[in-house]
Amino acid sequence: MIFKIFIFLVIVLSSELKSEIVVDPGEMIAIKTSSCPDIKNKQVFFYTFNKIDYAIVPSPFTKNSKLINTYCVPIKVNKKNYGESRITILDVSKVNLSEEDGQRAYKESQLIKNSLNKYSTDIKSSLKFINPVDGIISSRYGKQRYINDQPRSPHLALDIAAPEGTRIIAPAAGKVILIGDFFYSGNYLILDHGFGLISSYSHMSKVHVQMNDYLSQGDVIGKVGSTGRVTGPHLHWSVYLGGERINPESLIAENFFEKLFQ
């Protein structure tokens, strides 16, 4: 009898302790705020699903096969190999930059970085995005990039190829916080979805919005193009959460909510 009670207690306790979250790099993680009260004071994305409050945090790509101990719940990031992608850029001046272009690209990267560090609380979009463009996925998130056989940073975005001029829409409500014509990204814009959730759109032929515009999900923001450093017309779409580039494809997946709040 005592042995049976002991086994029962072990089962109950182990199920209580089984709080570790296991996730792939580049995904979102939902942590119940009730199980982690301190998280309410952090600058994270908060979301209520089925009347339960969650903090939504990123699983950084750089934490591949590592453990995250930042929150009160340990997060184990799976080891995952996303494969590689090799592209050829014929215009070598866009691969081996002149001093002038190098300075320009650096200034632009600082401008982009400043916009990406925003944490605004006046906007709140849905977490469930819709596809920003009707096209074919030409390069997925996480691939190790080689440009003209030189190893480069991993591709932490989703490339969607579509004919020049195809409409691009806002995948979620947001505010336009940066527009520019940039060395690498061409015609580029950033949407702030609030609480550290941000997305960016590169290589557009046309931009149809203005700085500080508030957009609804589905509003046209621009057209697919091949401006900046590209091999052909496509949208290079990045999504950031808490300053980390996450996998945009997960946000438009059919089972998004089931997977996030499992």
Give me the residues that bind Zn ion (CB under 5 A), please: 157, 159, 236
Closer of 91 and 99 to Zn ion (Cβ): 91
In this chain, which residue has its C-beta nearest to Zn ion? 236
- Scan for tokens 């993680």, then name that residue: 29
Closer of 78 and 144 to Zn ion (Cβ): 144
Closer of 33 and 200 to Zn ion (Cβ): 200
Closer of 32 and 145 to Zn ion (Cβ): 145
CA distance 123 to 116: 15
Which residues pair with residue 53 across a beta bridge? 48
CA distance 41 to 131: 32
Q: Cβ 51 to Zn ion, closest distance in Å?
A: 38
Q: Cβ 236 to Zn ion, closest distance in Å?
A: 3
Q: Cβ 139 to Zn ion, closest distance in Å?
A: 5
Q: Cβ 235 to Zn ion, closest distance in Å?
A: 8
Q: Cβ 224 to Zn ion, closest distance in Å?
A: 13
Closer of 33 and 199 to Zn ion (Cβ): 199
